[in-house]
Amino acid sequence: MVGPLLASKYRRPRRRPGTVDRPRLTAALDGARHAAVTVVSAPAGFGKSTLLAAWLDTLPTDAAAVAWVSLDERDDDPARFWTYVLTAIRDATGVGEEALELLASSPSTPSSTESALVAALNDVGGTDRDLVLALDDLHLVTAPEVHEGLAFLLEHRPPQLHLVLATRVDPPLPLARRRATGELVELRAADLRFTAPESAAYLNGPMDLALSGDDVAALDTRTEGWIAALQLAALSMRGRDDVGAFIAGFAGDDRHVVDYLAEEVLGRLPDDVRDFLLETSVLERLSGPLCDAVTGRDGSRATLAALERANLFLVPLDDRRQWYRYHHLFADVLRTHLADERPEVVPELHSRASRWFAGVDDVPAAVDHALAGGHVDLAAELMERAMPVMRRERREAELLRWVRSVPDEVVRVRPVLGLAFVGALAQASVFDTVDRRLADVEHAVRPDGGPWPAHAPPGLVVVDEDGYRSVPAGLEVYRAALALRRTDLDAAAAHARDALALVPESDDLTRAAAGALGGLASWARGDLVGAESAYVAAVAGLQRAGFVADVLGCCIALGDIRRTLGRHRDEERLYRWALALTDPAAPVRGTADMHVALAGVLIARDELTAAGEHLDAARQLGEHRGLPQNPYRARVAAARLCAARGDRDTALAVLDEAEQAYDSDYSPEVEPVPAVRARLRIRRGELREAETWARERGLSPDDEPSYLREYEHLTLARLLLARRDDTATALLARLRAAAEQGARRGTVLEILVLQALAAQARGDVPAALDALRRALGLAEPEGLVRVVTDEGTPIATLLRALTKQDPAYPSARRLLAAGTGDVPAPSALVDPLSERELDVLRLLASDLDGPDIARELSVSLNTLRTHTKSIYAKLGVTSRRTAVRRAHDLGVLPLRR
């Protein structure tokens, strides 16, 4: 679905023949390599792009990488804009895949954009080469979200990154502070205007006009150094005998100058060349075959080459001279003349362009031209045919643009397209018109509410017959999704059942979607046995349909369910089976999630090294293929691994990142990140913070058990135990009864461990040991360790008591050998450094810089700064060198030999 034009967005422009050397400006631009941001701002036709191309050609190849993005009106979409920018960075530097995958995981949310930018900045900061990020025609992008992202990029940029912005209007960025601190380079219209010597060099050099000094001065004065006007004037003067008279009569404001000169240029061209220019002006980018199709004539490749040689405002977009574009100002003039002179041909020209793009599988471009030509029916047909692939590729931003571009009256007679638009809106969480659109689709197919007709009634337009047969089931699928969004679980389950009853036998995809939605409803009600059955069927259907990425997505939920059911070995087998479906050479979206999920299984077994390897594998996939479908899960797993290793400071910091990355979907939020953080704070003895969390969540020991709040209530029980509050005992008893009734053995295991601790706290050792035996009976078959040993010294005391009663008790002895969650800290300081802070301190004593240390520790730069600040505070220092020296003096850090 990616058309042949896409690559041209990122190509570094090449200096065109005939460009005048402008050393005063290239010298000024040399400051861009040391500035945070450079703004080249001037009206149209002042040579901004040409100047930047000439300057970039002067940069030594080993001095800086160049990421160039040519923007147009369609890029006024945050997801599209940042995809192009991050792709350009990746192509220029070889880093940034993680950022692209973060963005792809949830392209329309501010949290995913910020996470992607943080990842990109970290990657760029880890390189040893400067990066010039040039954004051309930035004025065409007006979305506030894009400007906010650019401000974020500027505020947090590493020293290697230098922004260069070419624009007709100043962007709404905080430039005043950069100007005051000398971090801003600016070139304005007054700077870009040709000086008289530059005008002479241009007119008498590349344009070969042999003008006198007076003629050059007159033309320079009348054009005020406006380069586009000079170029148009020079073209008009070619072959004239009355150059002096032409220059003398040359006057007017910018609009009149453009109109006058364009008329002069077009009027003096051969008819076939003029026709070619006008007819191809409907294209944003041009190639020989495309222009052949649009003009209906052969030989366009040679015509384009001739136009370039004639300096007729043609800009090459690649090194092979296959793709071009017109100078934007010239293209505007051409389109204006085409609309004035031959308006009747414009729709047909767009129609030809649309058919050509459809023939090369660039459906988005085909749709754009169909719409531009007023061929809404053709656009709708193209959209309907492309929907299965667009949905599989999750092109939400493009689909939303389509939804907005097709009038409702056209959609109402196209039920398959209408339902596909509903799917696009649901994927993007834009639900305001979904109910109405579903009603429109149903009314179109069966206006009287009778049986579903096997064939489309007269008056309806159906391109995809298979898609039509699935419309009844599809309607119920999206109604189930709406009900889930409203947390109406009964309605969601009912609509899912109706969908399963209506779906055609051959439509595995819709059946799987219905099954998964029904499973979600069961899961949210606490019926995990029913949820598992539904998800097993959904996974099988998706596998038959060939939607491997969606199989992996469902396995995330299915694994969560099996873990709560206490079937950890089945959970592990599921993830390994899912991984086996993928091609290691070409991983699909969701592959990283399987590694993250396996890390969670291994952490529970205390196999921390293997867990770390899987998290590393997920991270590496993120660098090359795209981030997990649920990025916050990777951070939660990383935080749990840090906590298991005794580094609770980093664990807290990473949980903060996880909360920022959290993006709710239809899955029930059964383990909220704030509750995970509250548990960690309880283990750190920070009970006041945990109490604040419980109060904000409205939790009480008298609450009736609810599956959706079960994790939070268990966290509350931990807080009560830490406070030695007797109400924990009754709360745990109620929670256990509910979990046992729901067959949630994984939850029962955790409750039994807490009941053992509660009994121990009140002095009832027999009851404590009985609960512990039951817990070990559930943990041992699944190989679980951390659920017991994380409870530290109190549980170790009970394990020792259990081995005294039964010296041969195997699992108790193994757990004692594994150790507990209590990690001693170095005692050289009043406020000791944590294990993670010691890791940071050791690397601070090395020659690594900040980005390298962050990469070595697999943390973000912000997390590293948090650790460093804490280390400085504990050591009473303010610099890296002093910190290392003081650590040596205190014996906290051994001297290097």
The confidence score (pLDDT) of residue 233 equals 78
**H-type helices in 253-299, by residue range?**
254-267, 271-280, 288-295
The confidence score (pLDDT) of residue 242 equals 77
Please say whether the beta carbons of 367 and 401 come within 8 A.
no
The confidence score (pLDDT) of residue 8 equals 54
Residue 440 one-letter amino acid: D
pLDDT at 63 over 50: yes
Among 27-36, 249-258, 380-389, where is mean pLDDT lowest? 249-258
The confidence score (pLDDT) of residue 629 equals 63
The confidence score (pLDDT) of residue 259 equals 66
Domain 395-593 has CATH 1.25.40.10: yes
Among 288-297, 605-614, 656-665, 758-767, where is mean pLDDT lowest? 656-665
pLDDT at 623 over 70: no
Alpha-carbon distance of 438 to 433, in angstroms, equals 9
Among 243-252, 446-455, 533-542, 655-664, where is mean pLDDT lowest? 243-252
Residues 735-748 pLDDT 10s? 999 999 999 999 99
Please say whether the beta carbons of 253 and 259 come within 8 A.
no
pLDDT at 625 over 50: no
| Beta pairing partners, 542 | none
731: CB partners within 8 A, 6+ apart: 701, 703, 713, 716, 717, 720
pLDDT at 346 over 50: yes
Dihedral, CA atoms, 387, 389, 392, 398, nearest 10 degrees? -60
Q: How confident is the model at residue 666 (pLDDT cuts 50, 70, 90)?
A: confident
Which percentage of the chain shows pLDDT scores above 70? 90
Quick one: angle between helices 97-105 and 78-93, nearest 10? 160
Cα–Cα nearest to 106, from 115, 93, 95: 115
The confidence score (pLDDT) of residue 182 equals 85
Q: Which residue has the higher pLDDT, 761 or 193?
A: 761
The two structure tokens encoding residue 701: 């020991």
Alpha-carbon distance of 768 to 752, in angstroms, equals 9
User: What residue has token string 């109910």?
Assistant: 435
Residues 115-126 pLDDT 10s? 889 999 999 998
167 φ, ψ to 5°? -155, 155
Residue 572 neighbours by CB distance under 10 Å: 22
Q: How confident is the model at residue 825 (pLDDT cuts 50, 70, 90)?
A: very low
The confidence score (pLDDT) of residue 90 equals 92
**H-type helices in 546-630, by residue range?**
548-564, 568-580, 591-604, 608-624
The confidence score (pLDDT) of residue 353 equals 96
pLDDT at 685 over 60: yes
Q: What is the arithmetic mean of pLDDT over 653-660? A: 89
Q: What is the arithmetic mean of pLDDT over 124-141? A: 91
The two structure tokens encoding residue 649: 């400071």
Q: What is the arithmetic mean of pLDDT over 144-158? A: 90
The confidence score (pLDDT) of residue 320 equals 77
Alpha-carbon distance of 873 to 871, in angstroms, equals 5
Please say whether the beta carbons of 492 and 529 come within 8 A.
no
pLDDT at 101 over 70: yes
pLDDT at 511 over 90: yes
Q: How confident is the model at residue 387 (pLDDT cuts 50, 70, 90)?
A: confident
Q: What is the arithmetic mean of pLDDT over 137-151? A: 89
User: What are the DSSP calls for 506-560, one per residue?
Assistant: T-HHHHHHHHHHHHHHHHHHT-HHHHHHHHHHHHHHHHHHT-HHHHHHHHHHHHH
Alpha-carbon distance of 83 to 531, in angstroms, equals 36
The confidence score (pLDDT) of residue 295 equals 96
Q: What is the arithmetic mean of pLDDT over 76-104? A: 88
Question: What is the CATH architecture of 7-192?
Answer: 3-Layer(aba) Sandwich (3.40)
Alpha-carbon distance of 193 to 634, in angstroms, equals 53
Residues 418-433 pLDDT 10s? 999 998 888 777 888 9
Q: What is the DSSP letter of 286?
A: B
Which fold does the domain 835-890 belong to in CATH?
Arc Repressor Mutant, subunit A (1.10.10)
Cα–Cα nearest to 250, from 276, 289, 224, 270: 224
Alpha-carbon distance of 755 to 788, in angstroms, equals 12
The confidence score (pLDDT) of residue 890 equals 64
What pTM, to 2 d.p., does this model score? Answer: 0.66
Cα–Cα nearest to 825, from 603, 648, 680, 676: 648
Quick one: angle between helices 710-722 and 687-696, nearest 10? 140
Q: Whole-number mean pLDDT of the chain?
A: 86
Residue 356 neighbours by CB distance under 10 Å: 21
Residues 461-493 pLDDT 10s? 998 889 999 999 999 999 999 999 888 999 999
Which percentage of the chain shows pLDDT scores above 90? 47
The confidence score (pLDDT) of residue 252 equals 37
Q: How confident is the model at residue 2 (pLDDT cuts 50, 70, 90)?
A: very low
Residue 427 one-letter amino acid: Q
532: CB partners within 8 A, 6+ apart: 519, 558, 561, 562, 565
pLDDT at 265 over 70: no
Residues 179-228 pLDDT 10s? 888 889 999 877 888 888 888 888 888 877 888 888 888 888 766 777 77
pLDDT at 1 over 60: no
pLDDT at 541 over 80: yes
Cα–Cα nearest to 890, from 870, 876, 869: 876
The confidence score (pLDDT) of residue 626 equals 44
